[in-house]
């Protein structure tokens, strides 16, 4: 699911999950405030897109890497390793850090607890993406 609608769904689901975890842990964020925080953190990802667009135009390719994957240009992005490396993007990590600080303030949790929640859920998401890439490479011949 790509495009604005897909990203909007991701924001809504992530806000609901984070709000639910906050409630379980004793925090009282509320869905609207969590969605606002999630949307603000997503602005960092949008900044990353603004940085990438001129590079894409100059390079003539959409293969622009702004994270750890930039140090491994020969690794195909759709491979399991490429999928992992592309998730370690500078702007995505910056967004997660911003989300961690905001979550800490809104939920009333300490920074360590907030980081465990935010980065823990992100790690689960990355693990699922890499798992899908492994399945794709096994059953579709590394496509």
pLDDT the model gives residue 1 = 42
Is 50 exceeded by the pLDDT of residue 12?
yes
Q: Tell me the per-residue pLDDT of 97-120, one tens digit each, with 9 for 90 and over.
A: 999 999 999 999 999 999 999 999
Tokens of 22: 């906050």
Using DSSP's 3-state secondary structure scheme, residue 2 falls into coil
Q: Show the 3-state SS of 95-126.
A: HHHHHHHHHHHHHCCCHHHHHHHHHHHHHHHH
Higher pLDDT, 115 or 21: 115
Query: pTM here?
Result: 0.83
Q: Which residue has the tokens 């399945």?
A: 135
Is 50 exceeded by the pLDDT of residue 86?
yes
What is the C-alpha separation between 36 and 98, in angstroms, rounded?
13
């Amino acid at each position: 699911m790509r495009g604005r609608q897909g990203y909007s769904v991701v924001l809504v689901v992530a806000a609901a999950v984070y709000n639910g975890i906050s409630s379980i842990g004793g925090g009282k964020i509320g869905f609207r405030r969590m969605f606002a925080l999630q949307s603000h953190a997503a602005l960092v990802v949008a900044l990353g897109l603004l940085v990438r667009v001129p590079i894409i135009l100059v390079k003539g390719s959409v293969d622009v890497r702004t994270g750890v994957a930039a140090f491994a240009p020969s690794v195909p992005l759709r491979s399991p390793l490429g999928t992992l490396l592309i998730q370690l993007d500078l702007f995505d990590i910056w967004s997660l850090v911003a989300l961690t600080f905001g979550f800490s303030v809104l939920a009333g949790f300490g920074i360590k607890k907030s980081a465990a929640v935010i980065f823990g859920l992100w790690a689960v998401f990355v693990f699922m993406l890499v798992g899908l890439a492994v399945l794709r490479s096994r059953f579709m011949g590394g496509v």
